[in-house]
Amino acid sequence: MSAINIHEAKTHLSRLVEQASSGVPVVIAKAGKPMVRLVPFDAPAPRAVRRLGFMAGQGSVPDDFDRMGASEIEGLFGGA
């Protein structure tokens, strides 16, 4: 791990980022006092892709699904 002065770090930021991303941490110091450590960012693992239709054939819809509760709904809204 190398320590770099903050002025030098501003000048060579691209090089330091490449160095840190390759696995070599860099310490940035101000007036010789370590202030921050530049380390690679660990991205989270990608989530599993959700599949459409993964429960196909495991359920059923009644034939009168579109008419279920019709009499109760008509009663609520002043129907016959």
Averaged over 74-78, what is the pLDDT?
Answer: 88
22 within domain boundaries: yes
pLDDT for res 52? 84
CA dist 66 and 74 (Å) reads 14
CA dist 61 and 12 (Å) reads 65
Residue 23, Cα to own-chain centre: how many angstroms?
Answer: 23
CB atoms within 10 A of CB 24: 14
> Two tokens at 61?
């819809």
8 within domain boundaries: yes
Averaged over 1-8, what is the pLDDT?
Answer: 86
Mean pLDDT for the chain?
A: 87
pLDDT category of residue 9 using cuts at 50, 70 and 90: very high
4: which residues sit within 8 A by CB, 6+ positions away?
12, 16, 26, 27, 28, 29
pTM value is 0.50
Whether the pLDDT of residue 30 is over 60: the answer is: yes
Q: In CATH, what number is assigned to the domain containing residue 14?
A: 3.40.1620.10
- Domains: count for the chain: 1
